[in-house]
Amino acid sequence: MGGDPVSKPSVRRYLKTLAPGTPLRAGLDRILHGRTGALIVLGNNSHVQQVSSGGFKIGVETTEQSLRELAKLDGAIVLSNDLSQIVAAGVHLVPGGDLPTAETGTRHRSADRTSQAAGLPVVTVSASMSTISMFYEGRRHVVETVPQVTSRANQTLAALSRVSTRVSELLEQFTPLEIAEQVTLRDLTHVVHRLELARRLSAEMQFHVDLLGVEGRMVALQHAELVANFSGLGALLEQDYSGNVPDPADLDLGKLHNFSHDELFSGQLVAERLGFGPNPNLEQHVETRGIRLLTTLGRLPSSLVTKLINDFSLQELFGASVGVLMEIDGIGPTRARQIRDALIRVSETS
């Protein structure tokens, strides 16, 4: 199986249900502290029924207390598909012995094979190892403790902060080049490269936040503050520079999502992927429509930005007087002065 299995939406969704603050995680923690161990199937279908033997149906609400008490019994606990009900307890799981597994312990081996047979996650609580694990699609995912996830989250935050700062620094250099019509393809790939790094770190950070649940409030706030620095920037760059490639649809930053780290550092490969042709000249000049500049720096609404870029080039716009701006349909004296002041601020800041 290629890629990081934890990055799969289905795996992440199930791990999120085991985050601190959820009833299921509270129950697992109580079982762990009670040192009794447990085997819990997260869902119920015909395949679960086929590998189940014995036990008894109960149909009670999934609470930390009910999980803790039923875990004292021999056998597995089976939950409903929405995890809100305990369907059965004391169940003996007998999946096929021909299903491959690298696990040696009886409970973990049974969990792995049951998960493969049923296509559902199976969670184990190991009293001897003091660990919680989730088996899904032939893989074992250890459910980390809050301090472990918090440590990784802080490391990711620090990296994201550095990249976010670098994106801001690049844009401070980029904006004057746009105003002077001196942006090269190399300049554009530098910004795009850092923006993709920021996106990846942000996605990783969001995963940590999901795993932390109610314990992740502070890091979630810090994450949101950093993301605000570059949120929506990619879409604005696509709109600004799509006119420089034969097919505007090719300039899609989403095409860089599956780039390796080494590929992302190559301006040539990034430019090729974004539609600038084979062996593109990174020193060639590229033209901007000015959408990012007017939207993020001028603080102008998108509808007004569209009117302005349809009627003026960026150079014409910076030289336009209040009177000229008033000639645009829907722009009166007050709005014209606001636009002119915004353009002056952009120019002075740059």
| Average pLDDT of the residues of the chain | 91
Q: What pLDDT does residue 316 have? A: 87
Percent composition of the chain: helix, strand, coil (DSSP 3-state, to 5): 55, 10, 30
Q: Is 158 exposed, middle or buried (0-12, 13-18, 19+ CB in 10 A)?
A: exposed
In tens, the pLDDT along 6-54 reads 556 788 889 999 999 998 999 999 999 988 899 999 999 999 999 999 9
In tens, the pLDDT along 131-168 reads 999 999 999 999 999 999 999 999 999 999 999 999 99
In whole angstroms, give the CA distance from residue 108 to residue 93: 12
Question: Is residue 297's pLDDT more than 70?
Answer: no
In whole angstroms, give the CA distance from residue 117 to residue 178: 58
In whole angstroms, give the CA distance from residue 306 to residue 340: 16
Q: What pLDDT does residue 7 have? A: 55
112 in Cβ contact with 140 (< 8 Å): yes
> What does 205-231 look like in DSSP terms, one character per residue?
HHHHHHHHGGGGHHHHHHHHHHHTTTT
**What domains, with CATH codes, occur in the chain?**
11-143 (3.40.1700.10), 147-276 (1.20.1260.110), 291-348 (1.10.150)
Residue 176 C-alpha from the chain's centroid: 32
What one-character DSSP code corresponds to residue 255? G
Kindly report which listed range (101-110, 183-192, 236-245, 338-347) carries the lowest average pLDDT score. 338-347
In whole angstroms, give the CA distance from residue 347 to residue 350: 5
Band of the pLDDT at 1, cuts 50, 70, 90?
Answer: very low
Q: What pLDDT does residue 3 have? A: 47
The pair of three-digit structure tokens given for residue 290, joined into one six-digit string: 């000015």
229 in Cβ contact with 164 (< 8 Å): yes
Band of the pLDDT at 339, cuts 50, 70, 90?
Answer: confident
In tens, the pLDDT along 68-125 reads 999 999 999 999 999 999 999 999 999 998 999 999 889 999 999 999 999 999 999 9
Taking residues 208-220, report their average pLDDT: 94
Percent of the chain with pLDDT over 90: 73
